[in-house]
Amino acid sequence: MRSSVGLAKPCTVPPTRDMTLECCTLTQPIKLNKKFLQNQPLKNWEGLLDPVRHESATASRPVKLRRKWMEYQGIRNWEGLLDPLDDNLRGEILRYGHFVDAAYKSFDFDPSSPTYATCRFPKSTLFERSGKLDTGYRLTKHLRATSGIQIPRWIEKAPSWVFTQSSWIGYVAVSLNKAEIARLGRRDVVIAFRGTATCLEWLENLRATLTQLPNSDCGKKGSDDSGPMVESGFLSLYTSGTPMGPSLQEMVRQEIKRLLHTYGDEPLSLTITGHSLGAALATLAAYDIKTTFNCAPLVTVISFGGPRVGNRSFRRHLEKQGTKVLRIVNSDDVITKVPGFVIDGENNVPNNGDLTMASLPSWIQKKVEDTQWVYAEVGRELRLSSKDSPYLNSINVAACHDLKTYLHLVNGFVSSSCPFRAKAKRFFLSNHRR
């Protein structure tokens, strides 16, 4: 869904009331000093931010979602909304991206801090203190993830932060503001997850072979017959607990049960969003909720820079459940290409140069299947590229995977024929962690 950098064509999509389309046709990207950008206070950037910001987005979309909210939540798999990117959908993607950003900003990243790996803010002030004013939502529960990796005794001699087993991973929030509920057309429950932060979370990411989901029927042959399977490390973080605390799965189930009991008799949506590791956990949580609750509302995943999660059977189960997944993918982000080999479609069609099973000899395909390294992409994809932005001076692994890069690209993308609009300035290019 993009053109090569420097070759963007003039837009052929008529502008909407809220958006002026103007493609960037620069032949060379603007060079920006990285240290200079990182050191600039937020107030110096406000004049460069595009009008599609969280603070102003609600005002520009007062009633548009009310009648079509299910379409924007993916009930029709976002048909006709991705290319060109519908401006209301853009605003919703950015809005949920801000919820993920709040999870990053609320996490204590300092290993020397006595509160390392916990949430820095109480539920009552988390949004305000993380810079997300007037969300219309109230945080109802903090969430923690626990690694199931058995820690060897010798590691006890290492600093305590090295073997932090359980850490704050995100939160649940529900829309309570009447004006926001009216704008959305329903009450919305959000679950937001941050990405990888602790040592054990990084180690869990490396446990990349597929493992069977609990309570699923499992055959004996190959990935297709083995039932739904997911990446071992992601499942470990979702289902592991400690004698002193419940698993992330238990916390999510408990809170969703409470919210369904409280608001289940009114129009309700459940939106699960996350970046990187958080994107994988969002997909697992969506699957688990739809499996656990027969009365679950429409469940939508909006993920940023997520790795692959499960096999083809897992994807089929998600689709059968009615879970809707929109993956925001930067084609220059290597994290979205791991782990394993990928089967994108039923016919094993290669996707954008990724190595797929269709491109391998049959004996290697069989070997890969036997070692359980066959993954399948899920849901719909909004594919972007760092190369299309004239404001990004570095195309490296860290920069391409950064959440702020994703939000910048979403803000600038128009269509496959107009990959970046010139007036979408350096949105979210400072003061945001990966």
Residues acting as catalytic residues: 276, 333, 401
Residue closest to 291 by CA, chosen among 222, 228, 221: 228
Specify the DSSP element, H or E, that contains 183. helix 178-184
Q: How far is CA 349 from CA 254, 312, 343, in A?
A: 40, 13, 7
Residue closest to 240 by CA, chosen among 102, 148, 161, 357: 148
Sign, CA torsion 407/411/416/419: negative
Q: How far is CA 196 from CA 44, 171, 176, 200, in A?
A: 29, 15, 30, 9
- Residues 430, 428: Cα–Cα separation, whole Å: 6
- Residues 23, 429: Cα–Cα separation, whole Å: 19
- Residues 225, 210: Cα–Cα separation, whole Å: 13
> Facing residues of 137 across strands?
175
Q: Which two tokens stand for residue 188?
A: 């919305």
| Burial of 55: CB neighbours in 10 Å, binned 0-12, 13-18, 19+ | middle
Q: What count of residues does the chain have?
A: 434
